[in-house]
Amino acid sequence: MTSTIRSAEGYQRPDYATAAAGTARRTGGAGQLHSFLRTTAVSAAGLAVFFAAWELAALQLPSSRLVSPQATLADLIRNFVFAPRLQVFGLGRVGYGSLLLYTVRNTVLGLVAGGFVGILLGLTSARLRLLRIFVDPLVLVLGTVPVLVAAPLFLLWFGVVPFTQVLLVAFYSAVMLTLFSQRAAENLDPLYERWATTFGAGLDVRIRNVLLPGTLPEILGGIRITLASAWGLETFAEILGAPSGIGQAIKALTNMNNVSGLLACVALVAISAILTDLLLLAVAGRIMRWA
Amino acid sequence: MTRRLQGVAASRLSGGLVVLLAGVGGWEILASLVTAKGSYHEPLVPRWGYLMRDSLLRMSDYWDGSLGVPSPSQGAPPTYAAALLALGQASLITLERMVIGVAGGVLAGVGLGLAVSASRLLRQLVAPTVHILRMTPFLAMIPLFDLWFGAATFGIILFVAYGVAVILFIGTINAVRNVPPVFFDRAATLGAGRVTVFRHIVLPAIFPEIRASMLLSFGLAWSLVVGGELLGAQTGLGVIVTYALQFAYTGRVLIVAFLFVLYAGISFSLFDSLSRRAAKWHPFAARTERV
Amino acid sequence: MTTPVISVRHLTQTFTRTDGGRVLALDDVSLDIPAGEFACILGRSGHGKTTLLNAIAGLLPVGEGDIRALDRPVTGPGTDRGVIFQKDAVFPWMRVEDNVAFGLKVRGIDRTGRMRIAREHLASVGLEAVSRAWPRELSGGMRARVAIAAVFANDPPILLADEPFGALDYVTRRQLQAVLRELWQRTGKTVLFVTHDVEEALLLGTRVIVVSHGAIAEDRAVDLPVPRTDDDLATPQGLALKHLLLHHMGLE
């Protein structure tokens, strides 16, 4: 007579059938392939759920509110290289693609510039107490405040130029990455650096070989999070006022009440965000095989 | 407080004071150096005196003249009373949207998160959709929400609730997954049923993480409120900024920006200190909460 | 012959790892534990002793085989088999006395009743002074005492312990071993105690079962006095047993 386990009464009770046994040897590729296929299948099913829900909603709602995924894709493809509708808005002979390029460029530029400053500031202030007491209150205020309030200000000061948006993204990235780097440096056990000192390692060696690699996983995580928000910030700044960018397309299409165009542009930003996030994840995975 | 903590607090306070003084002083210096004016003759970097006298006073333009305090829109001269009333009224509208939006978002996010956590399959199926929604920049979706729900209070509340719900949904799912399985095992060996486990294990165990997610979502919520109001609202603090932008009234934009900083900071520390007591049992409760 | 309190017949347990590979954790294990026994399950890490305990506790989806406790088939965890876990399972969001009283609360005992029982058991492990403390305020050793008190408060006939003292320092471990042994002598429960420590097995057990590579390699009664001292272990009989166990652990 075999025993059967009663279905678990606990919430999210772990699936014991997949519990890892301590020192067991690997038993070949067949099992791994099976598990990989299963995960992919479930993810695919999940994606199908998303598009099915969208399709259903589009069927129920008037086309002035929502259009189907196919219609959105069609609009996207049709207008990617050249969007005749947008010409009226003084953007020139552009398509979604070139506008998106502007957005991507600004976002990445702002993130890199601001991130560099932020990481530098965060790591040094975590290790130098004197710097810390000035950085902390600054970052505390700037960190809790919606950076968005600076968007109209920058527009007033610098005008409708790329610099306005890049500055906004850079400012946000600097604040966020200061916080993340500080936390990463704090979470890094000082034991490691102390151990390096016992080997006679100087400050520059400790920074390069202990502090930077040690804080890298958490900082990369912070970069991912910051990047995800940076997209929205850049797009928003473009909607407020910019010479180009997908935000300008969104603004124009909203004025025209063009739902398919609007959805196509939002989809483009979403796709950019998802792809760059995956890229970052892959890069992080390779860099941090040790983590 | 111990002597050491008093020392830390004192240096933090003095650091903050120095930063504050440097900021105020630096601004004044910058303002006297930069004498450029906007298209309607308002200085682009107004000095403190100008801000207090002109910008603040002229906020009375936005008062509707009720409560026995006449408004410039009716022909009366600008008064501080009208100005403060205008700011107060706008603040209340914005705060209302913020509070209801956050409350709704938290309830929806946590509720849905707990519901989905009950089934591993459901969680896996829902995951891609949630990921797409989370990666689609919220700020880029403002025009969509405008289209669907309007740019008035209802639309903004829904927008804030949506953003908060997504964050809290993900946070709840993660929190439930992070509950150490040994707690469920122990409960099972004591004969606890589903409801008992939910009430006495899941809910208390996930509370600290939910609290952290909520603090995180506060910053986002403020961004969403500001963003929503800047793009098409008719009432609230953001609208004052929209009007001011048209005339390059930097001073008024600065005053509203300052108010947002104030409100965000207060809401944050209020929630932090109020909820801290409920999480005092947590092994890491001694660490101060950061954004 | 009375029916054994715990009965395992031809238990085979296989796991599927997260990467898809399969692991044979237990291979056709059979075992009988009579009432009142303090059986120590000894073995190296990864050889199956925890798996055996978890199977008897009902925390695993069983493979092939048959497990019975108190002459009833094991279909899941139950209040007849109390468990002291290897990982810290004391609920951090409940005060010490609420932790100990939790099992009683689940069974529907009223507040006054369960608090009284909880405090009694906290006193029996020497923690009556910290009954209102939060677990995070206690040391590892004190939390282990809370776990012991919590299990005994529910008075299960069977007690399953999975290396409960592994993370503690030598002195604390010895103290807690004494506490557990004393409680066992007083209550007469049937105890299954998993450990990788040969001395611990010899100090506590009336019987030692060695699990090696998923199978039982040795099953001996420990005919030494109860309670026993280190001197009792130094007798020729004790030393012979120790050498045998060390041999099975691969150390001799």
Structural domain of A226: 75-87+98-287
Tell me whether residues A151 and B230 touch, CB distance under 8 A: yes
Computed over every residue of chain C, the mean pLDDT equals 92
Please tell me the predicted confidence (pLDDT) of residue C246: 93
Query: What percentage of chain B exceeds 70 in pLDDT?
Result: 96
Query: Is C91's Cβ below 8 Å from some Cβ in B?
Result: yes
**Region label for C28, one of left (φ > 0), alpha (ψ between -120 and 50) or beta (otherwise):** left
Question: Would A222 be classed as within a structural domain?
Answer: yes
Q: How many domains does chain B have?
A: 1
Q: How many domains does chain A have?
A: 1
What is the reported pTM? 0.87
Please tell me the predicted confidence (pLDDT) of residue A25: 29
Residue A271 exposure: Cα atoms within 13 Å on the Cβ side: 13
The interface pTM score, or ipTM, of the predicted complex is 0.92
Q: Quick one: pLDDT band at residue A30, thresholds 50, 70, 90?
A: low
Q: Alpha-carbon distance B140 to B227, whole Å?
A: 10
Query: Is A40's Cβ below 8 Å from some Cβ in C?
Result: no
Q: Alpha-carbon distance B179 to B205, whole Å?
A: 6
Please state the three-class secondary structure of B76-131 as a single string.
CCCCHHHHHHHHHHHHHHHHHHHHHHHHHHHHHHHHHHHHHHCCHHHHHHHHHHHH
**Residues A68-82: what's their mean pLDDT?**
94
- Residue A8: which of B183, B248, B70 has the closest Cα? B183
**Triad C114, C117, C120: Cα angle to 5°:** 150
Please tell me the predicted confidence (pLDDT) of residue B285: 59
Question: Would B208 be classed as within a structural domain?
Answer: yes
Q: Are B6 and A125 in contact (CB under 8 A)?
A: no
Name, in order, each residue with C-beta under 8 angstroms of B133's C-beta and a sequence gap of 6 or more.
B166
Kindly give the confidence (pLDDT) of every residue in chain C, 252 residues in length, as a single tens digit, with 9 standing for 90 and above: 678 899 999 999 888 776 667 888 899 999 999 999 999 999 998 888 999 999 999 998 866 889 999 999 998 899 999 999 999 999 999 999 999 999 999 999 999 999 999 999 999 999 999 999 999 999 999 999 999 999 999 999 999 999 999 989 999 999 999 999 999 999 999 999 999 999 999 999 999 999 999 999 999 999 998 889 999 999 999 999 999 999 998 888
Question: Would B6 be classed as within a structural domain?
Answer: no
- Residue C193: which of C72, C52, C44 has the closest Cα? C52
**Which chain B residues are closer than 8 Å to C93 by Cβ?**
204-205, 207, 281-282
Residue A11 to chain C, least CA–CA distance (Å): 15
Please tell me the predicted confidence (pLDDT) of residue B62: 84
> Residue written as tokens 């009716």?
B74
**Residues B165-180: what's their mean pLDDT?**
94
Length of chain B: 291
Nearest CA in chain A to C64: A2
The mean-pLDDT minimum among A256-270, B36-50, B128-142 falls in: B36-50
**Residues A26-39: what's their mean pLDDT?**
63
**Which chain A residues are closer than 8 Å to B144 by Cβ?**
262-263, 266
Question: Would A154 be classed as within a structural domain?
Answer: yes
Boundaries of every domain in chain C: 1-80+158-252, 88-155
Question: Would A252 be classed as within a structural domain?
Answer: yes
Q: CATH number, domain at B232?
A: 1.10.3720.10
Residues 47-106 of B with CB under 8 A from A: none
**Over the stretch C36-52, which tens digit does the pLDDT of each residue have?**
999 999 999 888 899 99
Question: Would A61 be classed as within a structural domain?
Answer: no
Question: Would B144 be classed as within a structural domain?
Answer: yes
| Terminal Cα distance for chain C, rounded | 38
Q: Quick one: pLDDT band at residue A129, thresholds 50, 70, 90?
A: confident
Question: Would A45 be classed as within a structural domain?
Answer: no
Please tell me the predicted confidence (pLDDT) of residue A18: 26
Provide the sign of the torsion angle of the four alpha carbons B149, B151, B157, B162, taken in this order.
positive
How distant, in Å, are the alpha carbons of A74, A158, A255, A263 from that of A71?
5, 38, 20, 9
Q: Is the pLDDT of residue A13 over 70?
A: no
Domain C1-80+158-252 belongs to what topology?
A: Rossmann fold (3.40.50)
Query: Is A130's Cβ below 8 Å from some Cβ in C?
Result: no
Nearest CA in chain C to A28: C21
Structural domain of B209: 84-279
